[in-house]
A = this chain, B = another copy of it.
């Protein structure tokens, strides 16, 4: 176990000062004679020298690192998002420190502290909804924060990237109404979040357009956490007058909701038409393949990274940015006209 060479080793071997080596390492930081530059580069290569990130960070006061704070990697949505973000970040020479919160504000608070210690220059997160002061403090210390998929309204000056919530919910609802359904259930995130609200509003808008009344009991805004999606589905199916169609409008609830549907053995679409907000590979492998709102993960990843990096380089105007990307509705075979639905 030998130890790695430092910049002073390189300088000594090349017969120059550390300043010169540093300038070779960081072009544009000062002039270096072409001949010496070659010498230094050769020595760097020979010695296998690599600058220590910690030293650079200490001196610079901040790291070329971003924090990625998601709730849970076992949710394919976040996993794929993380995959894309890591990929995209790498191509910009930025590392990603990963933290998961399990939807727990305490764990989230811990994560934020840790990211602060690491002097990350940016954070991409799906916030739990708590820790408002912590998020504010982070921003106050110059960390660029971008929220994906959700947001916290109390927080000014945060960039947000999400899908067109209102529109996606409206279109899926319209589609089901078009099939003749009038009792359409909606499982979505908490009404306190802007995304939850936007989706509910889209759902309502579609009803109004069609002059249909909305049964408030069919709207279930449930916590992201745990099995709340499944429980909502269970209770919806147990209603005296159960829905004939269901929209699961939040990635966090899709897995448990669909599991519940399979467990109770309800026939899709014969007994219930289903649309989920998700683009997981397995939605296509089920029988029947589920109709989905396809969340454009690439776009979400690219935009959130663009925002973080743009802020890091000070290349963006000052106000907070709110980016909504279009989500496609993909009809597969989990929805049937009401006429064919066997009311039980």
A residues touching B (Cβ–Cβ < 8 Å)? 1-4, 48, 50-55, 57-58, 63, 65, 68, 72-74, 76, 79-80, 82-83, 86-87, 90, 95-100, 102, 107, 110, 113-114, 116-119, 137, 140-142, 255, 258-259, 262, 280-282, 284-287
Bound form: Cα–Cα A110–B116 in Å: 26
Bound form: Cα–Cα A107–B80 in Å: 18
Bound form: Cα–Cα A4–B142 in Å: 10
Instruction: Pick from A68, A80, A98, A118 the residue with the most CB of B within 10 Å.
Output: A98
* Contact call B141/A4, Cβ cutoff below 8 A: yes
Partner of A97, one of B97, B110, B282: B97
Given contacts A74-B80, A280-B282, 7 further A-B contacts (CB under 8 A): A1-B142, A68-B98, A74-B76, A76-B79, A95-B118, A282-B282, A285-B286
Bound form: Cα–Cα A2–B142 in Å: 8
A20 to chain B, nearest CB (A): 21
- 26 pairs of residues in contact across A and B, judged by CB atoms under 8 Å: A1-B142, A2-B140, A3-B141, A50-B113, A50-B116, A50-B117, A52-B117, A54-B119, A55-B58, A68-B98, A72-B83, A73-B83, A73-B86, A74-B80, A74-B281, A79-B79, A82-B98, A83-B100, A86-B98, A90-B107, A95-B99, A97-B98, A255-B281, A259-B284, A262-B284, A286-B286
Number of copies: 2
* Contact call B87/A100, Cβ cutoff below 8 A: yes
Bound form: Cα–Cα A79–B100 in Å: 12
* Contact call B86/A79, Cβ cutoff below 8 A: no
Bound form: Cα–Cα A285–B113 in Å: 39
Residue of B with least CB distance to A256: B281
Residue of B with least CB distance to A80: B74
* Contact call A1/B141, Cβ cutoff below 8 A: yes
* Contact call B100/A86, Cβ cutoff below 8 A: yes
Residue of B with least CB distance to A285: B262
